[in-house]
């Protein structure tokens, strides 16, 4: 049983560009959350998706958007990239009230 998977593993973009990161949840999980982890910091909650809708959102600008598909996979989109968006982006999945499991993350570098 595969755990949470994320793609790509690493990504380099330039300021102003747009990026899409992908997440496949653990089998049986229907809820996906996204986190941003800057170097040397703890993860920060971006938003959570359940039943293809954004259920809760952290303190991130509208440049950060997401989507969840009927198969529960999810995408994180970031527009107009800034240097400060460079971070490890983590996806976590869970089934309803159970604990969540994290993927290995996508390392985004903005030049």
> Where in 1-30 is the site for other proteins (CB under 8 A)?
4
Beta strand 106-110 with 10-13 is parallel
Shortest distance, position 99 Cβ to other proteins, whole Å: 6
Tokens of 80: 């107009």
Q: Are 111 and 13 in contact (CB under 8 A)?
A: yes
- CA-angle at 59, arms to 58 and 63, nearest 5°: 100
| Residues numbered 42-101 forming contacts with other proteins, rule: CB under 8 A | 42-45, 48, 55-56, 58-59, 90, 92, 99-101
The residues of the shown chain that bind other proteins, judged by CB under 8 A, are 4, 31, 33, 35, 40-45, 48, 55-56, 58-59, 90, 92, 99-105
């Amino acid at each position: 049983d595969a755990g949470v998977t994320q793609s790509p593993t690493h990504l380099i973009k330039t300021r102003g560009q747009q990026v899409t990161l992908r997440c496949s949840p653990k089998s049986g999980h229907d809820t996906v959350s996204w986190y941003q982890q800057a170097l040397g910091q703890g993860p920060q909650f971006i938003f959570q998706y359940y039943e293809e809708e954004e259920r809760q959102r952290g303190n991130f600008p509208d440049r950060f958007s997401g989507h969840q598909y009927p198969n529960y996979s999810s995408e994180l989109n970031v527009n107009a990239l800034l240097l400060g968006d460079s971070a490890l982006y983590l996806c976590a999945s869970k089934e309803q009230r159970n604990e969540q499991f994290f993927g290995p993350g996508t390392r985004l570098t903005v030049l």
